[in-house]
Amino acid sequence: MGIFDVAFLVSAVTIAAPILLAATGELVSERAGVLNVGLEGVMLTGAFGGYLVMWGTGSLVLGFLGGMIAGLLFGAIMALLSIEAKVDQIVSGIALTLLGYGLTAFLNERFLVPSRTFEPLPRLAIPLLSDIPVIGPVLFHQDVFIYATAILLVLVVLALSRTTWGINLKAVGESPISADAAGVGVRGMRWAAVLFSGLCAGAAGAYLSIGDVGVFREGMTGGRGYLAIAAVLFGGWRMAGLGIAAMIFAVADATQLRLQAIGVIPREVWVAATILVVLGMVLGRMRRGGGARWLASGRPTGIEVAGLALVVVLSALVLISPSITLPVSLWLGMPYLLALVALGTEGKRRHRAPTALAIPYLRSEV
């Protein structure tokens, strides 16, 4: 059956869920004008907080609450630094990440010895829907966290697009001076957005430690917080784009896990890579050239030339199907390399970012 089977798709959805939840919170925060670069540290703290509470109580529900409270506390620290103290948001985010790594490592060695392993969340099948071939096991035979994440995403989409709160949030991120003049509490909106981001990241981290893996390990988030930030940027600050980006990163992560197990790269990987590169080039040209006029939208860019060269190389690998093995460390870095490539190719979309993103608001300027 190859590596791209139903089990692979289930694994990809499981990997995508915490990234998607953390990215949703980050999207809300950035819509309000606060760039929470410390998301990795918040997720790691949530993972530790959830495990710590479950280690002490044995309750999965309390464990998730502990993770969310830990994320909320770190979100409050970020809000204090970026909103109240007007500290540079990049600097404060990096400091928050370092604090998360150091604090969780120290507390884990000091208090959680010996470590305990817990059973992951059980999977629940939705009647009838779970019986649909392929789609059923992938989408409708998952755990409660994934179902709750899907529901939250829908609620956030509705809140951002259909409510006064969503309009005010966008106004605060685009022009806080105008929003303040219109009677919108800029400070309160930004606080709420950053705290919501911390809550989501804390829950995502708790899922990693007690919902999926069942144990806490130092640095176990493994850069997923950074992937969540990359997903927001790559998705153009829109929920649909964010979801696509999170799934791309998750598929890359699931692929590297499979390839580590089998060693030699099978032919279907080269085929899938070729198709993805071609689709990316076509979609990029269509967006620049205006729909059906993409063929006549100008000479190829440097990125497109590089893409064509890559397609030629990948096509040759499909035909030859050589026996290639790569070191495990290279596979581990594949999702993050993909994130760097995505951010590099999408750099010109910076104009879609909220105008006041990462800019402290001084009310005295009004």
Tokens encoding 7: 């089990």
Question: pLDDT band at 139, cuts 50/70/90?
Answer: very high
Whole-number pLDDT of residue 364: 60
11's enclosing H/E stretch is helix 6-31
Q: Taking 80 as the threshold, does the pLDDT of residue 125 lie above it? A: yes
**How far apart are alpha carbons 177 and 365 in whole angstroms?**
8
Q: What is the mean pLDDT of residues 245-265?
A: 82
Q: What is the mean pLDDT of residues 88-95?
A: 93
Question: pLDDT band at 144, cuts 50/70/90?
Answer: very high
**How far apart are alpha carbons 184 and 212 in whole angstroms?**
40
- Averaged pLDDT of the chain: 86
**How far apart are alpha carbons 154 and 349 in whole angstroms?**
25
- Give how far Cα 163 sits from Cα of 166, 169, 180, 189, 226, Å: 5, 10, 18, 14, 29
7 near 257, Cβ under 8 Å?
Answer: no
Question: pLDDT band at 4, cuts 50/70/90?
Answer: confident
Whole-number pLDDT of residue 22: 97
- Top mean pLDDT of 120-124, 231-235, 282-286, 299-303 is at 120-124
- pLDDT tens per residue across span 223-246: 999 999 989 988 888 898 889 889
Whole-number pLDDT of residue 286: 59
**How far apart are alpha carbons 47 and 41 in whole angstroms?**
10
Whole-number pLDDT of residue 309: 86
Question: pLDDT band at 365, cuts 50/70/90?
Answer: very low
CATH no. for 6-263+325-345: 1.10.3470
Question: pLDDT band at 291, cuts 50/70/90?
Answer: very low
Question: pLDDT band at 258, cuts 50/70/90?
Answer: confident
Give one DSSP letter per residue of 126-167, joined into a string: PTTGGGSTTHHHHHSEE-HHHHHHHHHHHHHHHHHHHSHHHH
Whole-angstrom Cα Rg for the chain: 22
Per DSSP, 124 falls in state: E
Residue 133 preceded by cis peptide, ω within 30: no
Q: Which residue has the tokens 């789609």?
A: 135
